[in-house]
Amino acid sequence: MDPPADEMWPESFPPGMVGVMKTRVLVLGAGFGGLELATSLSEGLGDEVEVTVIDKNDSFVFGFSKLDVMFGRRAAEAVRLPYCDLAKPGVRLLRETIVAIDPEARSVTTDAGIHEADFLVVALGADYDMDATPGLAEGGNEFYSVAGAERLAGLLPEFSAGRVVIGVCGAPFKCPPAPSEAALLLHDYLSARGVRGDCEISFVLPLPSPVPPSPETSAALLAAFSERDIAFLPGIQIGSLDPARNVALLDGGGEIPYDLFLGVPKHRAPDVVVASGMTTAGYVPVDSETLETRFPGVYAVGDVATVGVPKAGVFAEGAARVVAASLIARVRGGERPGAYDGLGSCYVEFGSGRVGRVDVDFLSGPKPTGAFHEPSAALVAEKEHFGSSRRARWFGR
């Protein structure tokens, strides 16, 4: 039976496209969202469409791998998944840097030329704004990029005594549990080296609790901090660092001394997205059900978009699946897919090889909720599968 007319897309193809040319989908960014989108489109449409994915890098790295690199558990080279391994029917991946986006014309300029599309999906993630926290670049270390994590892998073995401050410099930031994980893993790391007793660890966060939508997860993390003598300082906004005096200066007045500052920089949409005129209040607003922007045929998924969910890969992936289903329906003239559900599960490293999980639901109720699952051996295996299943799905290995 044909779907009712109001559940059909008003136009399946842009005028003049039927039977003449393949529909062209341009995916900006081959991160969590872009990779899932390209994979889903290839599965659904094969080479019926022409999917071009553009990324400036040569490889993908899972966010959680940065903690592995920082604490010397894995080498940076070992966690890179090269894009040359991505081989999907109908998909080509170009290594180019995007320098301009015209959402009205659905065209994109890169350092190599101009690309035009029938449908454009912006999946360019969030960038780090080191300059927004004066002194951070000179006096601190960030662990949110592969380069930063690699630098710390070289520095941490030299650190044997003193005050470590893990400081989140602004919200929203990627993967809200990650700084808590960093504090707990740092405790393990220093303990294994026999120097924990000579070090103080403080964790400074602008939010009121480690994982605000999940009081249970927050309580479990606070208990873990307390057992390990990690000082948790919530609701504090770090304004700048003074590297000459080794202090973090707080917006509300006061300062926190440090010998080693491990920072999460403020985030912002990439400059090229801001310059395109697509952003409001820093990020790209989208329809929370369809992920479409105010520009027809232009979608945004993942960290670059404002959809009321946290900045995490699992949400970028869920959003990408909805956009892929929409595009498949638009190309084939099928039913509109269901709305984006805003559901996602995040694994939380508690240290000592233990992993918990929080299942968050951001959109279905009046306020976000997060069900906590206690750390267990089964969740260690589940987290491992989370990574390996995506690696196999996207990269075939």
- Enumerate binding residues for ligand FAD (CB under 6 A): 29-34, 54-57, 63-64, 66-67, 97-98, 123-125, 144, 174-175, 178, 270, 272, 302-304, 311-314, 316, 346-347
Best CA proximity match to 286, nearest among 303, 306, 304: 306
- The rounded distance, in Å, linking the Cα atoms of 326 and 296 is 13
> Which residue, 148 or 247, has its beta carbon nearer to ligand FAD?
148
> Which residue, 139 or 177, has its beta carbon nearer to ligand FAD?
177
Distance in Å, CB of 179 to ligand FAD, minimum: 8
Tell me the β-bridge partners of 369. Answer: 361
Cα-Cα-Cα-Cα torsion 63, 66, 71, 74, nearest 10 degrees, comes to 100
Closest residue to ligand FAD: CB criterion: 31
Listed in sequence order, the residues at least 6 apart from 361 whose beta carbon sits closer than 8 Å to its beta carbon are: 341, 342, 343, 368, 369, 370
- The answer to whether the CB of 179 falls within 8 A of the CB of 166 is yes
Distance in Å, CB of 60 to ligand FAD, minimum: 6
> Which residue, 329 or 360, has its beta carbon nearer to ligand FAD?
360
* Sequence-ordered alpha helix ranges (H) in the chain: 32-45, 65-70, 76-79, 136-139, 146-155, 178-192, 215-227, 271-275, 313-332, 377-395
- The answer to whether the CB of 324 falls within 8 A of the CB of 334 is no
Distance in Å, CB of 75 to ligand FAD, minimum: 16
Q: Taking the alpha carbons of 380, 383, 389, 395 in that order, is the dihedral positive or negative?
A: negative
CA 176 to chain centre: 10
Element (H, E) at 99: strand 98-102
Distance in Å, CB of 101 to ligand FAD, minimum: 9
Distance in Å, CB of 316 to ligand FAD, minimum: 4
- Residue 299, amino acid: Y
> Which residue, 35 or 247, has its beta carbon nearer to ligand FAD?
35
> Which residue, 67 or 247, has its beta carbon nearer to ligand FAD?
67
> Which residue, 55 or 118, has its beta carbon nearer to ligand FAD?
55
Element (H, E) at 115: strand 113-116
Task: Fill in the DSSP letter of residue 384.
Answer: H
Distance in Å, CB of 279 to ligand FAD, minimum: 14
> Which residue, 168 or 316, has its beta carbon nearer to ligand FAD?
316
Distance in Å, CB of 387 to ligand FAD, minimum: 9
> Which residue, 32 or 119, has its beta carbon nearer to ligand FAD?
32
> Which residue, 266 or 311, has its beta carbon nearer to ligand FAD?
311
Angle at alpha carbon of residue 232, lines to 227 and 234, rounded to 5°:
150
CB burial string 222-258: b at 16+ within 10 A, e below: bebbeebebebeeebebbbbeeeebbbbbeeeebbeb
> Which residue, 91 or 304, has its beta carbon nearer to ligand FAD?
304
Best CA proximity match to 34, nearest among 77, 94, 102, 100: 94
- Residue 71, amino acid: F
Distance in Å, CB of 332 to ligand FAD, minimum: 25
Query: Looking up tokens 């990408």, which residue turns up?
Result: 320
Distance in Å, CB of 97 to ligand FAD, minimum: 4
**Total length of the chain:** 397
Distance in Å, CB of 195 to ligand FAD, minimum: 23
